[in-house]
Amino acid sequence: MKGWLIVAGVILCCALLFYWFYRTQTVWVESAPYRRSVEKPAKTLVVVYSRTGNTLGVAKVVASYFDADLLTIDAPLYTRDYKGQRIAEKHADDEVTTTPITHDSVDISQYDLVLLCSPTWWYRPAVPLWSFVENYDFAGKAIFLMMTGNSRIKEGYIAKFATLVEKQNGKFLGMHFLQRGRVYWQKEPTALEEEALAELRERNKLWPVDVEGKIK
């Protein structure tokens, strides 16, 4: 009898762990709406793909730092369910770069600085960000990559992403990885946002625009 109780307890723990993991990968995390504070055209564009909302929260904070325009990408293949999760895993593992994406129309030529915000999928930027970069010419633009993830990235993949940006004529300024922590212990969104702001402030000399979006 005692043996069966232990087996039942282990099965219950595994089921709870699986359910918790499934929720973190499929449930949308809300964040406050974003609006620019100034009417004149922005010099900075923040582009974000977010499957479950965490990267969007960070992107909004990044956008408000620069008073930037915010462009959100949708990628219909990576639905917020088990099927979408499996396709995302497979594409990331296969190093896919091209997937159908949709977003509002955008005139890249008006911007000097473009910040790309992405979740990490198998140690690399998520597939929709590669597709976005493939679709545009970034001549004369500085590009910075901000990634969120649970654990880690691999430098080799970031180098490949930088090569793609440069192939599309962008100047790759670098990247920052915001580590949220593994699913059983994750930072609060506010902690992540504060870290993002601190990283932006630290790089103030790097940006070709000032924080109000004016050309330096």
Ligand X SMILES: Cc1cc2nc3c(=O)[nH]c(=O)nc-3n(C[C@H](O)[C@H](O)[C@H](O)COP(=O)(O)O)c2cc1C
Residue type, 186: Q
Q: Of 31, 42, 47, 55, which lies in the binding site for ligand X, with binding defined by CB under 6 A?
A: 55
Which contiguous run of DSSP H or E holds residue 99?
none
Using CB under 6 A, which of the segments 32-40, 64-72, 85-93, 129-137 binds ligand X? Answer: 85-93
From residue 140, alpha-carbon distances to 54, 67, 114, 166 in Å are: 30, 20, 11, 11
Q: Of 43, 51, 60, 141, which lies in the binding site for ligand X, with binding defined by CB under 6 A?
A: 51
The mark string for 155-194 relative to ligand X (x by CB under 6 A, - otherwise) is -------------------------x--------------
d(Cα 135, Cα 75) in Å, to the nearest integer?
Answer: 14
Closest distance to ligand X from the beta carbon of 107 (Å): 25
Establish if 119 lies at the interface with ligand X (CB under 6 A): yes
Using CB under 6 A, which of the segments 47-55, 66-74, 135-143, 205-213 binds ligand X? Answer: 47-55
Establish if 22 lies at the interface with ligand X (CB under 6 A): no
d(Cα 47, Cα 82) in Å, to the nearest integer?
Answer: 26
Q: Where are the beta strands (DSSP E) in 74-206?
A: 113-121, 124-125, 142-149, 171-179
d(Cα 174, Cα 194) in Å, to the nearest integer?
Answer: 19
The binding site for ligand X (CB under 6 A) comprises 25, 50-56, 85, 88-89, 92, 119-123, 148-152, 180
